[in-house]
Chains A and B, each alone.
Chain A
Amino acid sequence: MTGLPWLSLLILVPLFFGGLCLFVSANGARWLALIGTLINFAISIYLWTAYDPNGAQWQFVEKYPLGGGVNWALGIDGIALVLIALTAFLMPICIGASWRAIEKRVPEYMAYFLLMEALIMGSFEAQDLFLFYIFFEGGLIPMYLIIGVWGGIERIKASYKFFLYTLFGSVLMLIAMIYMAGTAHTTSIPALMAFDFPKQAQTFLFLAFLASFAVKLPMWPVHTWLPDAHVQAPTAGSVILAGVLLKLGGYGFIRFSLPMFPEGSAQFIPLMFVLSGIAVVYTSLVALVQRDMKKLIAYSSVAHMAFVTFGLFAMNRQGIEGALVVMLSHGLVSGALFLCVGVVYDRLHTREIDRYGGLSDNMPGYALLFMVFTMASVGLPGTSGFVGEFLSLIGTYRASSWGAIVATTGIILGAAYMLWLYWRICFGSLRNADAAAMPDLSAREWWLLAPIAAAVFWMGIYPESFIRPIRNDVGRVLTRLDRVAPAGDSHLTLGKGAMHMNMGTMH
């Protein structure tokens, strides 16, 4: 590891380029934003290669005291690493998606996007409780402005709803953080991850963090801000919201709730399973009846996030690794699906499903890529969606067979609404003349979607690349959870003969 403060650079580079954007023309801002995000992507690739999966838990650590007990403390483990890579990967794509779609106040727009990237990076890297909160909460401001200024017709309402919902959840977490800092006499996240809080306090701490992460993820029944925010946000805003911001919720569970309050978490496993089960079935059914493409994908996000909570609270290796892969996969796939919606929206300026149809005739390239992402969303083997959902289901099954049954229903319903969506948009006859006149993907749009498709297949065919960095860290979380993990009602026995897949330690 060289001496450069790489993690600080991940935060400072976008800030610097974002500041520059404000002083140049619209086109200059576009290029500056693209360069800034690409530099960050390059740094994240370097981090990925330099990261040692078998090395220390926290790598690239930086620490400078700010006074008052707060430290500029950064450091990443494998879990943060993969999420940072996801963010850095999606950001240039977001800038590319906004290239033509955003016409007014471009420099400002790019500046907010880069500011958001800096804050998201900070949230994943922070090793100080309050530093995390500052980054986590700060992300609200640029997103509020992006939705509110560049959004659709109902953008004001959606931006308020987004801001106040999330803020409400987060402030309760802040109180919990204050209590934790006072009890444990440290604000260092690694130290807190090893600290045992009194069991009674854990209940309240868990609930306070749940308030924040459940809104962010989002979980049923506090998901209602998400469809509004997605529908109103510009395409790139939706991509980053679904692709990265929601992941902060899952990241929060695995970084804070599970290792810091194991007893508290275990106590609420039934609640989490019930909420996730309702989310899977209910939001899938809601997705089935949507007429708006973006809304449909937004509801499908809620359903997919329920697989994350299922997996995490199964508290076993398959479950947690599966949850992380679902997070990564969903980041790619839902981002790509929103981009696909953006592609046709830019041409016809409507997101109503009925206005399209038969696009496989005049837009074969689009139909192909859209098919890939639809299948990945459904969870077809060979795509990223399969790996995550399968692992997560195995984990859930080991913890609760009923949970697994309900979750599986979600997969079936997911196939129903996604395939039906694809059928209504790409197959059938070209009913509408204006839809029939739409040209196929431009070179720029290929450049946006093809890398995501490649990543989706990579993750689906060789998931080991993504699981290797997180394996040891998941193990560390599991050691914290050892004493509380649910026994489960399934009785798995090793089969006789050739057993290729070792399912870990059996109960």
Chain B
Amino acid sequence: MIPRFTAPLLPELVLSIGGTILMLLAAFTGRRGATLVSWLAVLLLLGATVALIGPPSHAGPVFDGMVSADLFASFGKAIMFPAAAVAIIAAHGWFERGTEHASEYSVLIVFAAAGMSVMVSATSLVALYVGLELNSLAGYVLAAYRRSDERSAEAGLKYFVLGALASGILLYGISLLYGFTGTMTFTGIAAAFARGTPSLGLLFGLVFVLAGLAFKASAVPFHMWTPDVYEGAPTPVTTFFASAPKVAAVLLATRLCVEGLGPATDAWRQIVIFAALASIFLGAIAAYGQTNIKRLLAYSSINNVGFAMIGLAAGGARGASSVLFYMAVYVVMTLGAFLCVLWMRDEEGRPVESIVSLSGLAQTRPRFAAAFAIFMFSLAGIPPLFGFWPKLVVFNAAVASGYVALAVAGILGTVIGAYYYLKIVKVMYMDEPAAPYARVREPVQGLLILVAAILVSPLGYLLIGPLGSLTDKAAGSLF
């Protein structure tokens, strides 16, 4: 029997206890056990996803309002845990070539997942910070995971220094909010904001907290680390960074804005609108000159966060629902695109990252190219691919709230962004073939690419109904 008070935290418990056991197992088995540990970690994450099912995880705030295992959190976890599992599978056949120990990789991702899990459940500033740091610390190590590689070490250091700075800003904001309201819980802060015009100190706190979260979500103007870290980190790690933690950060920001800062909507809305538009346009324009596919996808992820934030700016249950919808589809597209990047290997099986090396892929590896093209068109939001629909949902929410100009600006951003996604398709389909890639013998990854491609293909439209009602319910639990 699970004790009553722990039931809402079941997924987190599964992950942290399981992660600790896995860490010991990894320490004792060393490199021999790497594959075993990684599959166990995948099982653990899937187990944690299963643990979401059932009434306990839909409970309201527990531990004196520290965390809330509501449907909103469950929805986020149901996206993030499988995404983290995919990131573990993405590493298969990657680290074996070097001298690194691969087993810690899986363990670190499990801990990061536990941190993200706390993030989306957090209903108090302390839980927010603890979850965010647990996730970040695992992330710093992961970025520098390939110790022998200078770029990876640089990425890790950069991420750590800038991340620490962002944490500092966030903590400062938290201290201001606490100092001026006397409470750490979101509901308490909301009550303080509801009492007339917020004081300057409260507003400062709000701005600092949002800045710290914007760093995590890599929204402009706190995006600077993203291209460098995405490029330098080993590709499976980048796959992870671009997917699950991003969902956690965006969902955390959504919950904080709705539950904690709801009465101050007018104060944060302008910040979110600015960050959204700046992310969309910077992400679209800065991607132009990129020659490295990982850097390009980094800008793409900045661009995509901007669209999700349009939903947040739209406000209300509808806006929150559109954010969830957007992030769910975004994760599938991004994981698919990065899995394709993982398969870019030269003749000797070494990974390559230049966009030029994709030349003529449609002729040398037609199915690979088709999958990649599907992800690119989908990220660009071109119908009939499913990537179009979340953008529509977000703009729908914005127009419904009367932010037509915001929607128009955002949608013009998609046209600018379409250029560089088209560029990749052009390189693959219209250029003369370059040296063919070596085949990667990872059937599970191949299957995952296939599943992702099917999900974002026009067949994905069949999911509109169920996914839409799910996001509506999940967003409804915030209000």
B73 within 8 A of A: no
Q: Is the CB of B468 within 8 A of A174?
A: no
Q: Is the CB of B382 within 8 A of A156?
A: no
Complex interface: chain B residues within 8 A of A149 (CB): 429-430
Smallest beta-carbon distance B479→chain A, Å: 20
Smallest beta-carbon distance B140→chain A, Å: 39
Count, chain B residues at interface, CB 8 A = 35
B396 within 8 A of A: yes
Query: Which of the listed residues A108, A148, A174, A182 has the most CB atoms from chain B within 10 Å of its own CB?
Result: A174
Interchain CB contact (< 8 A) of A172 among B408, B418, B422: B408
Q: Is the CB of A68 within 8 A of B399?
A: no
A105 within 8 A of B: yes
Stretch at the interface among A53-61, A129-137, A375-383: A129-137
Q: Identify which of residues 142-189 in chain A touch chain B, using a CB-to-CB cut-off of 8 Å.
A: 144-145, 148-149, 155-156, 159-160, 163-164, 167-168, 171-172, 174-175, 178-179, 181-182
Complex interface: chain B residues within 8 A of A145 (CB): 425, 429
Interchain CB contact (< 8 A) of B418 among A22, A65, A164, A174: A164
Interchain CB contact (< 8 A) of A178 among B399, B418, B430: B399
Q: Is the CB of A174 within 8 A of B395?
A: yes
Interchain CB contact (< 8 A) of A156 among B412, B415, B426, B464: B426
Q: Is the CB of A141 within 8 A of B377?
A: yes
> Roughly how many angstroms separate A22 CA and B367 CA in the complex, as a whole number?
10
> Roughly how many angstroms separate A352 CA and B202 CA in the complex, as a whole number?
72
A67 within 8 A of B: yes
Smallest beta-carbon distance A19→chain B, Å: 11
Smallest beta-carbon distance A228→chain B, Å: 15
Q: Is the CB of B419 within 8 A of A160?
A: yes
Q: Is the CB of B468 within 8 A of A148?
A: no
A119 within 8 A of B: yes
> Roughly how many angstroms separate A202 CA and B366 CA in the complex, as a whole number?
46
Smallest beta-carbon distance B381→chain A, Å: 9
> Roughly how many angstroms separate A64 CA and B11 CA in the complex, as a whole number?
39
A138 within 8 A of B: yes
Q: Is the CB of B465 within 8 A of A163?
A: no
B35 within 8 A of A: no
Smallest beta-carbon distance B99→chain A, Å: 43
Given A108-B362, A134-B384, A178-B392, is A66 in contact with B426 using a C-beta cutoff of 8 Å?
no
Per-residue contact bits, chain A 185-197, to B (CB 8 Å; 1 contact, 0 not): 0000000000000
B363 within 8 A of A: yes
Smallest beta-carbon distance B421→chain A, Å: 10
A140 within 8 A of B: yes
Q: Is the CB of A138 within 8 A of B363?
A: no
Complex interface: chain B residues within 8 A of A101 (CB): none
Q: Is the CB of B426 within 8 A of A171?
A: no
B443 within 8 A of A: no
Given A66-B461, A67-B464, A133-B383, is A172 in contact with B411 using a C-beta cutoff of 8 Å?
yes
Q: Is the CB of A138 within 8 A of B426?
A: no
B388 within 8 A of A: yes
Per-residue contact bits, chain B 402-413, to A (CB 8 Å; 1 contact, 0 not): 001001100110
A35 within 8 A of B: no
Please give me the residue from chain A that is nearest to B430 by CB atom: A148
Smallest beta-carbon distance A124→chain B, Å: 15
Complex interface: chain A residues within 8 A of B383 (CB): 133-135, 137-138
B462 within 8 A of A: yes
Complex interface: chain A residues within 8 A of B415 (CB): 164, 167-168, 171
Q: Identify which of residues 96-115 in chain A touch chain B, using a CB-to-CB cut-off of 8 Å.
A: 105, 108
B400 within 8 A of A: yes
Given A135-B384, A160-B419, is A68 in contact with B465 using a C-beta cutoff of 8 Å?
yes
B16 within 8 A of A: no
Complex interface: chain A residues within 8 A of B377 (CB): 141
Q: Is the CB of B392 within 8 A of A174?
A: yes
Complex interface: chain A residues within 8 A of B414 (CB): 171
Q: Is the CB of B384 within 8 A of A178?
A: no
A274 within 8 A of B: no
Q: Is the CB of A134 within 8 A of B464?
A: no
Q: Is the CB of B411 within 8 A of A175?
A: yes
Smallest beta-carbon distance A2→chain B, Å: 27
B466 within 8 A of A: yes
> Roughly how many angstroms separate A146 CA and B392 CA in the complex, as a whole number?
27
Smallest beta-carbon distance A451→chain B, Å: 31
Q: Is the CB of A160 within 8 A of B404?
A: no
Query: Which of the listed residues B363, B384, B414, B461 has the most CB atoms from chain A within 10 Å of its own CB?
Result: B384
A70 within 8 A of B: yes
Q: Is the CB of B399 within 8 A of A66?
A: no
Smallest beta-carbon distance B311→chain A, Å: 13
Complex interface: chain A residues within 8 A of B392 (CB): 130, 174, 178
Complex interface: chain A residues within 8 A of B382 (CB): 137-138, 140-141, 167
Given A67-B464, A141-B382, A175-B399, is A148 in contact with B407 using a C-beta cutoff of 8 Å?
no
Please give me the residue from chain A that is nearest to B399 by CB atom: A178
Complex interface: chain A residues within 8 A of B411 (CB): 171-172, 174-175
Interchain CB contact (< 8 A) of B384 among A138, A148, A163, A167: A138
Q: Is the CB of B464 within 8 A of A66?
A: yes
Complex interface: chain A residues within 8 A of B425 (CB): 144-145
> Roughly how many angstroms separate A175 CA and B410 CA in the complex, as a whole number?
10
Please give me the residue from chain A that is nearest to B398 by CB atom: A178
Per-residue contact bits, chain B 439-479, to A (CB 8 Å; 1 contact, 0 not): 00000000000000000001001101110110000000000
> Roughly how many angstroms separate A160 CA and B421 CA in the complex, as a whole number?
11
> Roughly how many angstroms separate A94 CA and B98 CA in the complex, as a whole number?
54
Smallest beta-carbon distance A135→chain B, Å: 7
Complex interface: chain A residues within 8 A of B412 (CB): 168, 171
> Roughly how many angstroms separate A397 CA and B363 CA in the complex, as a whole number?
55
> Roughly how many angstroms separate A155 CA and B429 CA in the complex, as a whole number?
12
> Roughly how many angstroms separate A105 CA and B369 CA in the complex, as a whole number?
14
Smallest beta-carbon distance B358→chain A, Å: 15
> Roughly how many angstroms separate A171 CA and B409 CA in the complex, as a whole number?
10
Complex interface: chain B residues within 8 A of A174 (CB): 392, 395, 411
Complex interface: chain B residues within 8 A of A179 (CB): 399, 404
Smallest beta-carbon distance B27→chain A, Å: 49
Q: Identify which of residues 339-393 in chain A touch chain B, using a CB-to-CB cut-off of 8 Å.
A: none
Interchain CB contact (< 8 A) of A144 among B396, B422, B464, B468: B422
Smallest beta-carbon distance B462→chain A, Å: 7
Query: Considering the complex of A and B, which 9 residue pairs feature the smallest CB-CB distances, nearest first?
Result: A67-B465, A68-B464, A138-B384, A134-B383, A68-B468, A171-B411, A148-B430, A137-B383, A178-B399
Q: With contacts A70-B461, A134-B384, A149-B429 known, what are 7 further pairs, Cβ within 8 A?
A: A67-B468, A68-B464, A105-B362, A148-B426, A155-B430, A178-B396, A181-B396
Which residues in B have some Cβ–Cβ distance to A below 8 Å?
Answer: 362-363, 366, 377, 382-384, 388, 392, 395-396, 399-400, 404, 407-408, 411-412, 414-415, 418-419, 422, 425-426, 429-430, 458, 461-462, 464-466, 468-469
Question: What are some 13 contacts across the A-B interface (CB < 8 A)?
Answer: A66-B461, A105-B363, A133-B383, A137-B388, A148-B429, A159-B426, A164-B419, A167-B382, A172-B408, A178-B392, A178-B395, A178-B399, A182-B399
Which residues in A have some Cβ–Cβ distance to B below 8 Å?
Answer: 22, 65-68, 70, 105, 108, 119, 130, 133-135, 137-138, 140-141, 144-145, 148-149, 155-156, 159-160, 163-164, 167-168, 171-172, 174-175, 178-179, 181-182
